[in-house]
Structure 1
């Protein structure tokens, strides 16, 4: 084989190697591009997923804030309604309290009421000796019914008539515009055992408080209807 043939063979081998190298390079390029596209797609999908999760998280936070805001507004509305109802009920009680002042103005009926209040208090205390406290302006009326009240009590419970001592300390007077914020009493009596351990508060104001507490559910139902739970 001469030099020319050797040269041709070498050139053919070079071309073959170059061709294989180019084909291999193309394969590597195509493979690299495919891997790049796959990785890029994965990154894009990962980012999309992250964005969706972030959006869903914020959407839930907004929904929670809406529910909290709605609940706060609802509670505030309920409180306003309850406050308005309480105002109406308190106004009603104040009106009833003012009406009590008329009770003691009719001396004939008030005298009889004082006697009943004293008897009722004696029945509750069941003490042989009691201390009675009343308003200063009611002392003469109380004194006028004291014997009758003791006799009525004694006959009712079958005991000896008790001793009743009128306290020199009096209950506050009826409310007036100049002492509207001070202590007051619309009438009635307070009886206590001599040692002061047992007290029966039978004033008109105390009886109004008791009656109002007992009747409050009925009053609310009558004024505002049945409240939904």
Structure 2
């Protein structure tokens, strides 16, 4: 083999090695590109997942804050509505009280100005009878206003007789307290408390007290009508106008006590089931028993 042949053979070997090297380098490059793309895709997906999780977390936080803010505003609105209702109810009750005092004062003034006017005495008589019918005690204590003492003493006999006839029992004992009186009418010299009219009865031992004053009647009627005034008007417009029937019912029902004076039975039926009865010494009674 001469030099030329050796040179050609070497040249072929070099080309073969170079070709294999280039193919190997190309394979490595392709493999590296694939691995890079796979790794890049994994990293991108992982970051996307993190971003989605962070977004969901912040979205939930925003929703929670929105619900809290909504609930806070809703509660504040409800409190404002309740406050407005309470203010209106208080104003209506004051209006009913003023109307009751006006009606009672007029009737009592008419009684003073005319000896023939027996409206207020008949009212007291009806209230006493109704109280006796509620207590159903043979011996009862009675307390009235000082200015009503003479009227009460004048009608006490007829009230006891009427009670006995209604229940077909013996005439009961009714002791009128001539030392301790109910507060006077509004505007008198009494401090704080006042009484528009009526009586308070109690059992002989004082354990059961029945308050049958005009002020107690107002409180009873007011509590009975209160659910009506708590019903919201259409569109939530709870106004004095929308609640005017409630006030009218209060005033009319109370004025009826003063207007239906000549009919004791009607008056008793009107006020049936709406009298304050207080167990003053219940604990003491349990202890004794």
TM range (shorter): 0.7 to 0.9
Are 2:162 and 1:152 equivalent residues in the alignment? Answer: yes
CA distance in 2: counterparts of 1:178 and 1:62, whole angstroms: 63
1:36 to 2:46 alignment: no
SS at match of 2:205: coil
1:45 match: 45
Deviation at 1:115, TM superposition (A): 0.7
1:85 aligns with 2:85: yes
- 1:74-223 superposed matches below 5 A: 74-102=74-102, 103-107=104-108, 108=111, 109-167=119-177, 168-176=179-187, 182-221=192-231
User: 1:60 corresponds to which residue?
Assistant: 60
The change in CA–CA distance for 1:118 and 1:226 in structure 2 (over 3 A counts) is: farther
Q: Which moved more, 1:32-41 or 1:114-123?
A: 32-41
Give every structure 1 segment of 4 or more consecutive aligned residues whose post-TM-superposition deviation is greater than 6 Å. 177-180
Q: Max radius of gyration: which structure?
A: 1
> When the two structures are superposed, what TM-score results if normalisation uses the length of structure 2?
0.68
Contact 2:183 / 2:190 at 8 angstroms: preserved in 1? no
- Corresponding residue SS for 2:186: coil
User: Partners of 2:222 and 2:212 in 1: how far apart?
Assistant: 15
Q: Give the distance between the partners of 1:41 and 1:115, measured in 2 at CA.
A: 99
Q: Which runs of 5+ in 1 are unaligned?
A: none
CA distance in 2, matches of 1:189, 1:104: 16
What is the rounded CA distance, in whole Å, between the counterparts of 2:65 and 2:25 in structure 1? 59
CA RMSD of aligned residues (A): 2.8
Distance (Å, rounded) in 1 between the aligned partners of 2:209 and 2:49: 77
